[in-house]
Structure 1
């Protein structure tokens, strides 16, 4: 049980309140000097905000080496999340994920992971030179989405690569699908490996009832938790959690390799206040979120044509559990790609959802949502079906294409390369990323073979209006490929 008397504290917030009352004269950075030097910014953001956009100083501690209020906030966060240690992160969960991987892997080390990871994981491999052992996830062919890792797949990877140093798990995926993380932790530990969790979309697992198990409760060694997604903190604020087997001093050193030395007190105070809110009220809040999501699923499915999927997908293995707050909706059966529904909702109904891809949309529900907004969404989807439904023939459904890994991400990223028209790249080895964002799962990653199927997918996604990112060429008409064809160092299971 969490110590609620301690959890009612917010040390960074309290220190900033005291600082505000002191009326300190600033002869330090930032240069706007509590907003006086930039009146337009102050008018836009408000004095309350810019007045606490300050630099590290003794009364406010230092994120790189916390000893007072930031340290207290991290201790409270660790208690709230059931972790041995917690680190406040101001570079987004991308920074948390990269610090997690870099804490465990060095050049040449193998790490077992699903291929449907966020690009931040593969970016970390570019930085450290670790070798990915990809477990190709199962695919739901009706929905066209990749699932979790099955226990058998993970065990097979561990047996084939006993020298791997870690196993990484998505908990959950963007669509809300969870692998059997308890079993995977156990398999990894029995093999002498660490277990890492990308929990960018699982903050609420730590506070809600009837949720999938959190990484820390499952015994994972590290977890990257995106507090700003479902936890209510400001965008770009995150937490990195560690278990008892990790050396917190080493993890701090790794974090400090890439994280800013000028940590934003706006972001850190938002983490502090949001942690307190979740610890004190999270159970009640997320119970209401689940009720709203369940109601919306039922109403959307009653519209017909759509499929708002949920826990009925659970199969005990590759879909071991499902995040009940995720409102994922399959749109292909009404003849529209998810990204087309996404665009119509925004452009014609002033409804901004999280993402749309080839076959699905995701409405992200969390602590700030209200039933009346869900009613608007359900009504809009019903109208869109009535106005725009068409034959689904010719629509692609596959969201995941098994990659052929030719060399490691680091080797490919830094290798000699050349730019070619994308349609002339089939058979070559890619040296950069190509992805739809969101969700940020690469269609191509450095070191992977470019195939005709992948090129067709990219072309189709572009034609449907997906936001494509990654390559040097912003129009994605050219792509960088390896000049020597690549060396065979990548590993697939």
Structure 2
């Protein structure tokens, strides 16, 4: 990596030049550098609102970059070890969907684990591709889904040699990685593209002693949430491509759905954050790993909680582990993860990333300090002392293997009817149901509804999980395919 070049931030520099020019705005946005919306200026500051501008020649255009955005893309590609990098302003959802839509058309098969983010299945609704699921292993103590075993991936590839792509999470929300290098090798033997969701793996490109990144493993495309562990503004991400991908075609796919009015606040934040990680990432993520290790040790000494890490590696479904992740199992103190999540926020003013039925995740990144971690540890000790109870009868299973009957697209657009949740057993769902975060569907369009799934949804609602997806906002009814 050319560290002198990485000191550049072309979009940021262009905005600084623009700010000094005192341009008279007869273009959009209509707030005209904030003059028309004083409350917005009060909230965000004049400096911020003053660079909320539209695409213009000196600032380039995200739909067809030829100058400063093109330079920013080239610097990002170099920093991430990619052949090309696209700046994305629709979040990693947009990047994930662009990967799938670039490879798949109606009727194509795509091999993927079922514990993908909803954005992947949304893309299948849009393009009509057929999912071929590799059911991930489950850790029954923790109640979480793991990575894909290579043997399972190999079997599914051999059974579906006409599939066009293999999709991999690297890592999962909990920090678990599959054997990405081997999966890439297997897929490429069958001329399948490898698409990687690295929403939670930005730091793999810049830290040391972390799992392999998608680009280093030889994957064809990767979606990277720069706004998660990378420090850019919310909703800003990168889409990376390898040498055997037609970047011009990918740009066309991105432009099918991405805004033509890209926010320069988001674009400049990507540019500045890439520079920051290229210059200081190794040191910054070293501190994050140290902090996470300290937190795990302190939490495990409380007793009852289990903050898990690399000791779980098994060379297969947990091939590697992201040691920046602070995942904590809570069931042994008699509380669901979502209950601990709510108590931390409501009684201790601590906002963690999410809680599911058995675990919580506290997201550590370059902005965390030891004093905040100590506050979290002390709150968890206090919660155990005040709220500890017997765990009998508590559910832990986070993953229920689906019964796929139809493609997501066929079922999403099919004739449907709304039924009370308890009357849907045996019917085919035509919408999504998930807890958010993490946004992994419990039910996706085209899957059969079972007793286990109904029980899970009812239990998750009772425990306070944020349920999303269905048309009915109370999630008391589900849309199912109408029976002829």
TM normalised by structure 1 equals 0.98
Task: Indicate the RMSD between aligned Cα atoms, in angstroms.
Answer: 0.5
What secondary structure, in the 3-state scheme, does the structure 1 residue paired with 2:323 have?
A: coil
Q: Which residue number in structure 1 is paired with residue 47 of structure 2?
A: 48
Tell me how far 1:114 sits from its aligned partner: 0.0
Please list every run of 5 or more consecutive structure 2 residues that lacks an aligned counterpart in the other structure: none
Measured in 1, the distance between the counterparts of 2:154 and 2:14 equals 48
CA distance in 1, matches of 2:411, 2:84: 35
Secondary structure of 1:394's partner? coil
Counterpart of 1:359 in structure 2 is 358
Separation (CA, whole Å) in 1 of partners of 2:456 and 2:205 = 37
Q: 1:82 is matched with which residue? A: 81
Match of 2:204 in 1: 205
Q: Tell me what 2:37 maps to.
A: 38
SS at the partner of 2:82?
A: coil
The residue aligned with 2:315 is 316
| Partner-residue secondary structure (3-state), 1:362 | strand
Partner of 2:152: 153
Residue 125 of structure 1 and its aligned partner are, at CA, apart by 0.2
Measured against aligned partners, the alpha-carbon deviations of 1:367-389 in whole angstroms (never above 9, x if no partner) come to: 00000000000000000000000
Deviations 1:333-391 (A, max 9, x none): 00000000000000000000000010000000000000000000000000000000000
Q: Which residue of 2 aligns with 1:293?
A: 292
Shift, 1:461, TM fit: 0.2
Aligned counterpart, 1:218: 217
Deviant stretches of 4+, over 6 Å? none
* 2:385 is equivalent to residue 394 of structure 1: no
**Partner Cα separation in structure 1 for residue 60 and residue 294 of structure 2:** 45
Separation of aligned partners in 2, 1:434 and 1:472: 10
For 2:175 and 2:185, locate their aligned partners in 1 and report how far apart those are by CA, in whole Å. Answer: 22
Deviations 1:71-109 (A, max 9, x none): 000000000000000000000000000001000000000
TM-score normalised by L of structure 2:
1.00
Alignment deviations for residues 258-287 of structure 1 (CA, whole Å, 9 cap, x no partner): 000000000000000000000000000000
Give the corresponding residue for 2:407.
408
Q: 1:129 matched to which residue of 2?
A: 128
Q: Give the secondary-structure state (helix, strand or coil) at the position aligned to 1:260.
A: coil
Query: Partners in 1 of 2:197 and 2:152 — Cα distance?
Result: 18
Counterpart for residue 381 of structure 2: 382
Report SS of the residue matched to 2:195: strand
Residues of 2 paired with 1:476 and 1:288: CA distance? 42
SS at match of 2:442: strand
* 2:25 aligned partner: 26
Q: What residue is the counterpart of 2:140 in the other structure?
A: 141
Displacement, 1:222?
0.0
2:277 equivalent to 1:273: no
3-state secondary structure, aligned to 1:224: strand
Secondary structure (helix, strand or coil) at the match of 1:216 reads: helix
Distance 1:484 1:421 in 2: 16
Deviations 1:230-255 (A, max 9, x none): 00000000000000000000000000
Alpha-carbon distance, 1:26 to partner: 0.2
C-alpha displacement of 1:484: 3.1
